Structure 1
Amino acid sequence: MADTTMRAVQFDGPGGPEVLRIRDVPIPAPTSGQVLVRVHAASVNPADVASRRTRLGRFPRGTGMDYAGEVAEVGPGATDLRPGQRVWGYLGTHGHETGAAADYLLARREQVAAAPASVDSVSAAALPTVGTTALEALRDKLRLRSGQRLLVVGASGGVGGTAVQLGRAMGASVTAVASARNADLCRELGADRVIDYASTGADASGREFDALLDCHGAALRRYRRLLLPGGRAATIAVKAFPYALWSRLLPGPGVRVVISRPRRSDMEALAGHVDRGELRPVVERVYPLVEVQEAHRAVETGHARGKRVLDLRR
């Protein structure tokens, strides 16, 4: 590899999108069990915004958790991957000096998996974080089974839209809660029914759901009442975490908190869903790296119709 430096988005302290800077930094070298990935695309997640705002951790810090690209170099112990192989992955939520919004990244071998063959890198980069989160929520927290009825609140966002598709692939009947303008998207993704959170009283549905996945957090108490006896509930929304803890002391099902971990087995499972046509990435907009601040501002609005993705090749 002739180049010795690369572009990387970093920030020196907490703040708004304006603290993000594109810098030239040394290309890192993989050590034992690590893989150097040339990044083709990386998506922007709400967790990236939260990390940018916090004072905790070391600085300078990079941004970006999920990516798609190709293997540039492997360290000892990572020989099951080969240079030139198309890969994707999820770095996890811990702060990194160089995150996925960089020309190259270092990842542990378990954070890297073969990318799905049926989509390009921009589409693939939209899935790792939301996909592993949705998969862990439905499979592990909610233990969703074929024939059950799933309610997804915030169904047009990254995790919500993925959960609608995975729930359908698992054989569940899926009801989506979203805004009226996103009802068509939810139906396209496989929702059997869509509830407009702004104009339809969810309580009118009665107790009918076996499982609830909350991706919004604003009205978790109300939606929890729609669960059948013995139903299960989980949330990914940070603002709902206090109620999730309090729910353990209330009558009815406790709400489980979902915090996903990077695992190759989950990435391989997601790739299978993509290549079988059961899961498609939803990309709202693609940005060049120089517009990373604008991408963060879009995520900060809280309004999503899929994912915002940075194309490192533009």
Structure 2
Amino acid sequence: MKAIVQERYGSADTLELREIERPVAGDGEVLVRVRAAAVNARDWHIMRGDPRLARYTMPAMFGRSGPRQRVRGSDFAGVVEAVGAGVTGYEPGDEVYGDLREDDGAFAQYARVPVAWIGHKPAGLTFEQAAAVPLAATTALAALRDAGKVKAGEHVLINGASGGVGTFAVQLAKAYGATVTGVCSTRNAELVAELGADHVVDYTREDFTRGGRRYDVVLDLVANRSLGELRSVLTEHGRLVMSGGGTSGGGRPSYFGPMALTIRATLAAKMGDRRVVPLLNVPPSAQSLATLREHLEAGEITPAVDRTFPLERAAEAVRYLEIEHARAKVVISVA
């Protein structure tokens, strides 16, 4: 089968289209004929081995000189080709979507997936739209529903509202009945407003930490502000949810990257600051995918896809997300 393979850390130039052996579904797994795969920030982080600290603290994904898994990509949508022993609820021909996470391997014609990490593809979505959902929307769901505990009538600010997670977070917060403020650049302001944000802050013209507004929940997806600045815009009982972030810096390597802020937030939470909630790990989950399917089929959330690339141009797709600051989701179509 055709797959995007990487042997060593580096830029998108290290990603190569190759013929490799097709995987086989083991016990509790399904073999999926991939029809589309989404590009996430985690893909370029793993591709570059950045931040360098991750090479020592996240051994499931990062090796010392190259990624643990040769084939990139975690999000996918496709058709079940075969099922392994012990699998129930799925059979060949079923349309599914899911997240491979640490196993990676979605930038390929076939992927072997634990059945606990997949869900039936939402009705009415193309494979490209469905592939855009799993990691980003699951993260947004965990950040707002579980960590932030957003309630109707609350005011929510999303820093990084036009990114993959941010576009889903804006819509989910609105579905929960919140008043939403999205922070983004000028070129993405219209998109964020169309997704349902009540207020849009253009960070090139306005500093949301100096505007005087206070929020019940702040979801930070960028890691470009200090912990103190983010806490300063919270209400008395507000919650600050930290979820990764960071930019590539034009490909320049970093040692700590967004992990520096995450570490500070984790320490603050452990020392008793109940207003700070680090979102350290959101594992793939069939239950979360089922919940998201309900929101999608009800029309409460819709994937926002910026651009689609064919599999042979996967390196270009990753480069576009990493360097050119794509908005919303970038998707790879697999023939």
In structure 2, relative to structure 1, the CA distance for the partners of 1:220 and 1:304 (3 Å cut) is: farther
CA distance in 2 between partners of 1:35 and 1:27 (Å): 13
Q: Deviations over 1:77-126 (max 9, x none)?
A: 1121011111000112x254xx1000000000011110101110011111
Please identify, of 20-29 and 220-229, the stretch whose mean Cα deviation from structure 2 is larger. Answer: 220-229
Is 2:75 aligned against 1:66?
Answer: yes
Letter in 2 for 1:312: V
Q: Of 141, 153, 177, which aligns to 1:147?
A: 153
Aligned to 2:251: none
1:242 matched to 2:251: no
| Structure 1 residue 208: Cα displacement | 2.0
Distance 2:233 2:68 in 1: 45
Q: Which moved more, 1:184-193 or 1:229-238?
A: 229-238
* Aligned match of 1:83: 92
Distance 1:306 1:60, change over 3 A: closer
Q: Which amino acid aligns with 1:232?
A: R
Answering whether residue 141 of structure 2 is matched by residue 135 of structure 1, we say: yes
Tell whether 2:213 aligns with 1:213: no
Which secondary structure state, in structure 1, belongs to the residue aligned with residue 144 of structure 2?
A: helix
Question: What do residues 58-92 of structure 1 show as CA deviations (whole Å, max 9, x unaligned)?
Answer: 65611000000111100111121011111000112
Match of 2:281, SS state, is coil
1:3 maps to none
2:297 alignment counterpart: 275
Match for residue 18 of structure 2? 23
Q: TM-score, normalising length from structure 1?
A: 0.92
Q: CA deviation at 1:207?
A: 4.9
- Of 173, 179, 184, the residue aligned with 2:179 is 173
C-alpha contact (below 8 Å) 2:69/2:103 kept by paired residues: no
Offset, 1:247: 3.4
Show CA shifts across 1:281-301 (max 9, x none): 011110011111111111212
Structure 1 SS opposite 2:106: coil
1:61 is paired with a residue whose SS is coil
SS in 2 for 1:9: strand
- Contact kept? 2:35, 2:109, Cα under 8 Å: yes
Contact 1:12/1:59, CA 8 A, preserved across alignment: no
2:205: which partner in 1? 199
Q: How far 1:237 moved relative to its partner? A: 2.1
1:190, 1:38 → 2: CA distance? 34
SS across alignment from 1:310: strand
- 1:35 is aligned to 30
> RMSD between aligned alpha carbons?
1.7
Matched, 1:223 2:243: no
C-alpha distance in structure 2 between counterparts of 1:278 and 1:223, whole Å: 28
Deviation at 1:196, TM superposition (A): 1.1
**Which of 122, 125, 128 is the aligned partner of 2:128?**
122
Cα distance in structure 1, aligned partners of 2:181 and 2:309: 32
Unaligned stretches of 5+ residues in structure 1: 1-5
Letter in 1 for 2:334: L
Give the counterpart letter for 1:75 in structure 2: G
The worse-fitting range, judged by mean Cα deviation, of 179-188 and 32-41 is 179-188
Residues 176 and 59 of structure 1: CA distance in aligned 2, closer, same or farther (over 3 Å): closer
Residue 170 of structure 1, CA deviation? 0.9
* Structure 2 segments unaligned to the other structure (5+ residues): 50-54, 56-61, 246-257
SS at match of 2:91: coil
Number of aligned residues = 305
Q: Is the counterpart of residue 45 in structure 1 residue 40 in structure 2?
A: yes
TM-aligned CA distance change 1:269 to 1:217, over 3 Å: same
